[in-house]
Chain A
């Protein structure tokens, strides 16, 4: 069983839609949860960072962590064509090793 599971998609939505991206994980020691955006032929860029359970909002992006269910989500409101990218979840405990999901490919259609 992988440490982190993420549906690879692809996901295609119309401009303005609300997008929901999810990951599940198996290691209860994970405490730090991140969402990265990766454009084609680029390195990942950190979007959201959450410690432990709860919600965090930044502009059009909301990250949710439910440690009891080992489930994290990223919501994108009013999606734009520029949001088209691959979205990676990542998480870690107190160590230095970050565990990434496989990424979900998102296309926002104008």
Chain B
């Protein structure tokens, strides 16, 4: 059984650019959640996708957007990058959308915005 994978591992962008981060969910999981973890902070919920539909969103501006594909893999897109977007971006997959479903996290993508 393959766990959650994310790509790329590291990324450096400049302010104003756009970035796409990718996540492959664990086999059989239909729900993917994305989190932003700034240095020294806990993960902050960005949004969740369930069966290709956005299924809840945290307090993030519209320039953070996402997609989920029929194979349940997912992308996080961030437009007009700002310096404060520098963080570890984590995705987590689960068997379903309810809070009782364990979320399995990937290793994250570390984004640096210069």
Partner of B103, one of A4, A51, A93, A98: A98
Count of A residues near B, CB < 8 Å? Answer: 28
Pull 27 A–B residue pairs with CB atoms less than 8 Å apart, ordered by A.
A4-B42, A41-B107, A42-B107, A43-B4, A43-B90, A43-B92, A43-B105, A43-B107, A43-B108, A44-B43, A44-B105, A46-B104, A51-B100, A88-B42, A94-B99, A95-B56, A95-B99, A96-B56, A96-B97, A97-B45, A97-B56, A98-B43, A98-B99, A100-B35, A100-B44, A102-B40, A103-B40
Place the interface of chain B in its size category: 20 to 34
Q: Which of A24-53 contact B (CB under 8 A)?
A: 31-32, 36, 41-46, 49, 51
- B33 interface residue per 8 A CB criterion: yes
CA A58 – CA B2 in complex, angstroms? 25
CA A90 – CA B42 in complex, angstroms? 9
Chain A residue contacts of B103, Cβ below 8 A: 46, 98
Chain A residue contacts of B56, Cβ below 8 A: 95-97
Chain A residue contacts of B90, Cβ below 8 A: 43-44
CA A90 – CA B104 in complex, angstroms? 14
Q: Which of A1-30 contact B (CB under 8 A)?
A: 4, 6, 8
> A101–B42 contact, CB under 8 A?
yes
- Minimum CB–CB distance for A7 against chain B, Å: 12
